[in-house]
Amino acid sequence: MRLIRAIHWLRALALTSVLAVSALALVACGGEEDPTANFPERDIEWFVGFDAGGGFDVASRIIAEAMSEDLGVNVVVRNIPGGGGRRAVQEIARGVPDGYSISIVNMPNQITAELLDPEGIDFNSLGWIGRAVIQTYGYYTAEKNPWTSVEQVAASTPEPRFCLTGLSGHSFLVAAISTQELSIPWHPVTGYGAAEIRAALLRGDCELGVGPIAGDTLTAVNGPDFKVLWMFSDERFGPVPDAPTITELGYPDVGGASLANNGLVMAPPGTPDAILDKLSAALNKALADPDVAAGIAKAGMEVSTQTRAQSAASVKAMFGVVEENIGIVQERSKSQ
Amino acid sequence: MEAFADALLRMFEPASMAAIFLGMAVGVVFGIIPGLGSVIAMTLLLPFTFGWDPILAMYVFAGIMGTASTGGAVPAILLNTPGTIANVCTTFDGYPMTRRGEGGRALGLAASASGLGTLFSIIVLAALLPLATVMLMAFGPPDIFWLVILGLLAVTFASRQNMAKGLAAGGVGILIAMIGSSPVFAKIRFGLGAEYLWDGIDVVPLAVGFFALSELIAYTSRGGTIAEGEASLNVGGIRQLLRGAVEVFQYKGILLRGSLIGTITGAIPGAGGAVANFLSYTSAKQASKTPELFGTGYAGGIVASESANDAKDGGILLPTLTFGIPGNGEMVIMMTAFILHGIQPGRDLLVNRTDIVWAIILGVIGAQVLTTIVLLGAGGWLAKLSVVPVRYIAPLVAVLSFIGVYAIRSNIWDVLLAVAAAIGGFALRKAGFPLITLVIGFVLGGEAEKSFIQSLQISGGDYMVFFTRPVSIILIIVIIGTLGWSLRGALRANARAREVRA
């Protein structure tokens, strides 16, 4: 009898404990009702998929400093170069969705990489925060080359050669798509560092360069040795107002601004909306700071802000442009 | 000249001296830690200089670039662990000297050869600024191809005892260089499906594993202290240091050649301090009447190595200042600093901002002089490291090496690669394969492939592109001459051996 009572007592105790623990858990959960409310509580890591010192890196450092002030925690820039920026994308794609790791990403080129060699990354599922910077691309050449129109370049003999860093990356993407659309022969010379291309143009290794007309390239084309042939933008590009747009030269269908390089900022899939909103607000507030904009402009990029929805929509639109051209891109990335 | 005088006066202002000192201190520390170097030091400081007077920022950056490779000589000499890849050849003679108890003398030699190398190259820079166009136009991909071939030939001279093993190691180095994306085609080779191999093997973890970590295995298994027996009683001391510092002048020929090679190699985009270091060491050995002394703790070896890796500073500034074409990682950061401070490299800089040009030139010289003084001052104390039991040194060097390797791109696989290279390197050393030729093959192999394919892309597949440019022809003649010279030496040695046998 005593035994039975003891068992009853124990059962009661167990039941009470379970109830107590559950209640405690509920209370605890209640305390964490909104885990995003106190975000951020510690430092945020901002990945850059490229080496330190490049355009996106410099822009990231300027923006991160301003965001740190606003959020009250450090936004720490961390370079994780690899695979032309892909390593950073992968880190984010499989990252913890808590808002403490975010990354700037070069678009649409990461979409190209994904289409050419799928790693199973669903870009639409990533948490898009906004747009940090944009780089407008153009063709440039040595001053001594006499061309003023697309037709002159295309018909030039011997065939004009294209100096490129490699058969991947945004410059390659722009070169591959635009030469096809403009009927310019495809004669690449590859393997140059971005800055070496200017030496190669002067030396006559090649006749054409393509890239963001920014930073040291902007300085060079404003100097006596180089000139811009045309810009892929919808309107004349402020820093080189004398250079025509590709639309003005009679090729409105080539892509214009859709060939720009976008520095979008993203967080891992599944990051709560409330956190993304906070990050987006902090990013856009930093970008609205005239000092930040000036620093970014000095480094040769433009501030062009987007809301979260706009960024997500532009990623979808970029898919369209890249998918349309993926055939020629693929063919040319294999050719030489 | 007026601008120079102004700049000189400005340099002695307290703020300027503080900036140079800051650059020097950061450069030396980052140079000493294996794996870290000037590029990462400059990158870390870049954001802090945003709001500064541009001249002060230039002093800091010039200070760092001028001193990192001098700092890197310290662990190379004392611990057989090059602080930067450009100090590899310093280990060949510096470390044997340390083991003999002459670490202080070796540091003195390195400090003074570095200082003189920098001075030489900066003078050449100032003289050559007007001729920069010629230099830039002269070296196209076909010329770089021949230059690299000349460097690869050096593999045979660098393999000190066993040429066959040296060549084999060099070949393995070239193969390792082929891993990852092709430099010209969008194709990944030997990728094994691993994301880590996309960008190929990075030289820093490889070199740190080979030279720093495998050395740790070697001296931990030996135990004791680095300088042994009698030698350990007589280490360092200011007299030894000064002896080394003054002794440099006995090697005027080596010093001059090293400085010249450093300056020229520096001016060629992509070549850099490591190549300058190899070329200078091997050419000094080749030209020497006593080549057998190289690698045994010979003062001339340190002079050859350290004068070249510092002389590259003057050369490398040439294309950056004149065309805004950065030749290496340091210069990429320097360009970024220019842009952030609203300075436009190129003709505008040379004509209208001579204050900046002089600030950089004087900053490099000032920092180098400071480093030389600091090294001479602290050298005796540093040299005492060689009598500290290695069981205390090894963990410290290991930790610093791992930090250095990881810091570069925050990739834990780099650390694992360094460990693998350490074990592989230790095994190769035990089997008598010279690691240096492997690394030369690695560094130059990729460059050779790239410049070869670029040349053919430029010419549309016509091989004559390699034989028609003036610089190429000069280099081909030098290559043939070098081959003939060493063949003659080998034949003579053979004849002598036969005489002895007869």
Chain A residue closest in CA terms to B325: A195
* Candidates B189, B334, B336, partner chain A, best to mutate (most A CBs within 10 A): B336
| CA gap A230, A247 in Å, rounded | 9
Indicate the average pLDDT of chain A: 85
Chain A contacts of B183, Cβ < 8 Å? Answer: 166, 190-191
- Grade residue B327 by pLDDT with cuts at 50, 70 and 90: low
pLDDT tens profile B254-299: 999 999 989 888 877 656 677 788 888 888 888 888 888 888 889 9
* Candidates A168, A189, A298, partner chain B, best to mutate (most B CBs within 10 A): A189
* Residue B413 or B184, more confident: B413
Strands (E), A203-327: 208-212, 226-231, 261-267
pLDDT > 60? residue A39? yes
Strands of the A137-142 sheet, one edge to the other: A188-189, A162-163, A208-212, A137-142, A226-231
Contact B460 A187 (CB under 8 A): yes
| Nearest CB to B410; choose among A78, A224, A298 | A78
Contact B344 A87 (CB under 8 A): no
* Residue B327 or B247, more confident: B247
* Residue B290 or A102, more confident: A102
| Nearest CB to B346; choose among A58, A191, A220 | A220
> Which residues, other chains included, contact B292 with Cβ-Cβ below 8 Å and sequence gap of 6+?
none
In this prediction, residues A170-189 reach a mean pLDDT of: 91
* Residue B203 or A283, more confident: A283
b/e map B15-26, b = 16+ CB within 10 Å: ebeebbbbbbbb
> What pLDDT sits at residue A102?
96
> What pLDDT sits at residue A7?
55
| CA gap B34, A313 in Å, rounded | 47
In 3D, which of B8, B25, B5, B19 has the Cα closest to residue B373? B25
The secondary structure of B259-288 as a DSSP string is HHHHHHHHHSTTTHHHHHHHHHHHHHHHH-
Contact B184 A202 (CB under 8 A): no
- Grade residue B310 by pLDDT with cuts at 50, 70 and 90: confident
Q: Model-level pTM?
A: 0.73
If DSSP codes are grouped into helix, strand and coil, which group holds residue B327? coil
| Nearest CB to B136; choose among A61, A187, A202 | A202
> What pLDDT sits at residue A192?
82
**ipTM of the predicted structure?**
0.73
Contact A161 B458 (CB under 8 A): yes
Number of helical H runs and strand E runs in chain B: 23, 2
In this prediction, residues A32-54 reach a mean pLDDT of: 81
CB–CB of A247/A234 below 8 Å?
yes
Query: Does A14 lie at the interface with B, CB-CB under 8 angstroms?
Result: no
Chain A contacts of B323, Cβ < 8 Å? Answer: 198-199, 202, 220, 225
Distances in Å between the Cα of B319 and the Cα atoms of A94, B130, B135, B137, B186 are 42, 11, 9, 11, 29
> What pLDDT sits at residue B235?
56
pLDDT > 60? residue B461? yes
Query: Does B141 lie at the interface with A, CB-CB under 8 angstroms?
Result: yes
> Which residues, other chains included, contact A261 with Cβ-Cβ below 8 Å and sequence gap of 6+?
A106, A107, A109, A134, A135, A137, A170, A212
| CA gap A199, A253 in Å, rounded | 32
Query: Does B136 lie at the interface with A, CB-CB under 8 angstroms?
Result: yes
pLDDT tens profile B70-102: 888 888 888 888 888 788 889 889 989 988 888
> What pLDDT sits at residue B50?
67
Query: Does A206 lie at the interface with B, CB-CB under 8 angstroms?
Result: yes
Residues 298 through 327 of chain A touching chain B, CB cutoff 8 Å? 298-300
- Grade residue A30 by pLDDT with cuts at 50, 70 and 90: very low
* Candidates A48, A57, A58, A110, partner chain B, best to mutate (most B CBs within 10 A): A58
Distances in Å between the Cα of B186 and the Cα atoms of A154, A168, A206 are 25, 6, 20
> Which residues, other chains included, contact A14 with Cβ-Cβ below 8 Å and sequence gap of 6+?
none
Residue A316: how many CB atoms within 10 A of its CB? Answer: 11
- Grade residue A306 by pLDDT with cuts at 50, 70 and 90: very high
Query: Does B346 lie at the interface with A, CB-CB under 8 angstroms?
Result: yes
> What pLDDT sits at residue A327?
87
Chain A residue closest in CA terms to B321: A216
Residue B207 phi/psi, 5° resolution? -70, -40
Contact A195 B326 (CB under 8 A): yes
Lowest mean pLDDT among A148-152, A258-262, B305-309, B442-446: B442-446
Chain B contacts of A56, Cβ < 8 Å? Answer: none
> What pLDDT sits at residue A253?
80
Chain A contacts of B332, Cβ < 8 Å? Answer: 53-54, 195
In this prediction, residues B406-426 reach a mean pLDDT of: 87
> What pLDDT sits at residue A198?
85
In 3D, which of A158, A217, A218 has the Cα closest to residue A189? A158
Contact B332 A199 (CB under 8 A): no
In this prediction, residues A286-303 reach a mean pLDDT of: 88
> What pLDDT sits at residue A1?
46
Indicate the average pLDDT of chain B: 81
* Residue B367 or A97, more confident: A97
pLDDT tens profile B32-56: 877 677 877 887 777 677 678 888 8
Contact B181 A216 (CB under 8 A): no
* Residue A207 or B129, more confident: A207
Query: Does B351 lie at the interface with A, CB-CB under 8 angstroms?
Result: no
The pair of three-digit structure tokens given for residue A304, joined into one six-digit string: 């062009």
